[in-house]
Structure 1
Amino acid sequence: MLRTCVLDFGGNWDSHLPLIEFSYNNSYHSSIGCAPFEALYGRKCRSPICGTEVGDNRITGPELIQETTDKIAQIQQRLQATRRRQKSDADKRRKLLEFQVGDCVMLKVSPWKGVVRFGKKGKLAPQYVGPFEIVERIGPVAYRLRLPDELSGVHDRRSEELQALKSKSSDVVHNS
């Protein structure tokens, strides 16, 4: 995002940083379902209407409002373009994983701060455990696994959290 603004505004991009920040904090973020400002304060932000200096000239009144509105619109367009490009790049690398009932897969586990899992703590804990058998396909990307009692708190898993069984097992804890 910042790179595109540097390209747009050239050498004086840093003078537009408050507008860039304003635009970012008031743009819809799909991960939280609203703008960060709205998530933090529980309401939508009002547009900034105050005097700012551009170079040596002081802009006031309607010119300030128009220039600020134009810059915010330009920044929001760049944010949308950046989001689309990043999504497109991520989609190119994304591969759809499909498994069949009866396949054995490894289950991805994420480290929890301060929790010891499988004899190791934090980042040293294994990334995958298993192998576990798929007993049911619940949806297009969700599966039910046959898990031991100690993992009974684990619910149905999405395909992103599963990995096909591999011969290399340097980062795997095997189910016994």
Structure 2
Amino acid sequence: MRELYKLLHIEGNLSTAYYPQTDGQTEQVNQELEQYLRLYVNHRQLDWADWLALTEFAHNNHEHSVTKLSPFFVNSGQHPSDFTSIRMTSSNLLAEEFAKHVKGVHELAQANLTQANDDMKCFYDRHAGKLITYKTGQKVFLDGRNIKMIRPTKKMDNKWFGPFEVVEKVGASAYRLKIPKTWKHAHSVFNEILLKLAVQPSFESQK
């Protein structure tokens, strides 16, 4: 794949799991929609699936924080109806009631997506510290939040594993580690945000 990139003059940036900053657009969309749906699951447990189409519409009509344009506008050059110009009176009371309900749900979806985006940015800014560049041969600890072990209770499992030796840097922000061969279920490449430098104990009992 790397040789193919060279031939086609493609600058590759390999993605790693559990790190939304690598493939920002895809991962951010996934997390925003997941957070949005969690809001609906909490309050609309009986009918949340009915509004998935409106969820998609609200997201595609939502202004991107970087481009300042919605996906709808980028693809078609125009904005679709946002339900603000719909005639809200009718001789058919059922149709009128449903139209008002759809408009309300759409406004709620738009507000929730905006809140989800703000929450994601706030959370990342609060937890993103200064990243360290690791060198081949250095020992690092690996965050255990995404590592599945045979212990039945995750809360009582180790928070960090290692130390493991850094084999090489992969892409812009990931490292290949020399993990145990018994970890057949785990990939050996991890993002730098899941690593921390292993400090040698000052005396024997600190191990």
Does structure 2 retain, via aligned residues, the 8 Å contact 1:23–1:75?
A: no
Q: What is the TM-score when the length of structure 2 is the normalising length?
A: 0.46
- CA RMSD between the two structures: 3.8
Name whichever structure is richer in strand by fraction: 1
**Structure 1 portions without partners, runs of 5+:** 1-16, 29-58, 169-173
Distance 1:81 1:96 in 2: 27
Question: Which ranges of structure 2 fall in alignment gaps of 5 or more residues?
Answer: 1-42, 57-91, 202-206
What does residue 157 of structure 2 align with?
125
Q: Which amino acid is the alignment partner of residue 106 of structure 2?
A: A
The answer as to whether partners of 1:98 and 1:141 remain within 8 angstroms in 2 is: no
* Preserved CA contact (<8 Å) 1:132 1:147: yes
Partner of residue 12, structure 1:
none
Distance 1:135 1:112, change over 3 A: closer
1:92 aligns with 2:125: yes
- Which residue of structure 2 aligns with residue 154 of structure 1? 186
Q: Distance in 2 between matches of 1:80 and 1:134?
A: 39
CA 1:77–1:154 in structure 2 vs 1: closer, same or farther (change >3 Å)? closer
For residues 99 and 51 of structure 2, what CA distance do their matches in structure 1 show? 20
| Percent pairwise identity | 18
Is residue 134–residue 144 contact of structure 1 (8 Å, CA) maintained in 2? yes
Match of 2:142 among 107, 125, 133: 107
In 2, Cα distance between the equivalents of 1:22 and 1:151? 38
The structure whose Rg is larger is 1
The count of residues paired between Structure 1 and Structure 2 equals: 121
Q: What's the CA shift for 1:145?
A: 1.3
Find the counterpart in structure 1 of residue 166 from structure 2: 134
Q: Give the alignment of 1:1-176 within 5 angstroms.
A: 22=48, 26=52, 27-28=55-56, 60-93=93-126, 94-95=128-129, 97-102=131-136, 103-110=138-145, 112=148, 115-116=150-151, 122-151=154-183, 154-155=186-187, 156-166=189-199
TM-score normalised by length of structure 1: 0.52
Structure number with higher relative contact order (C-alpha < 8 Å, ≥ 6 residues apart): 2
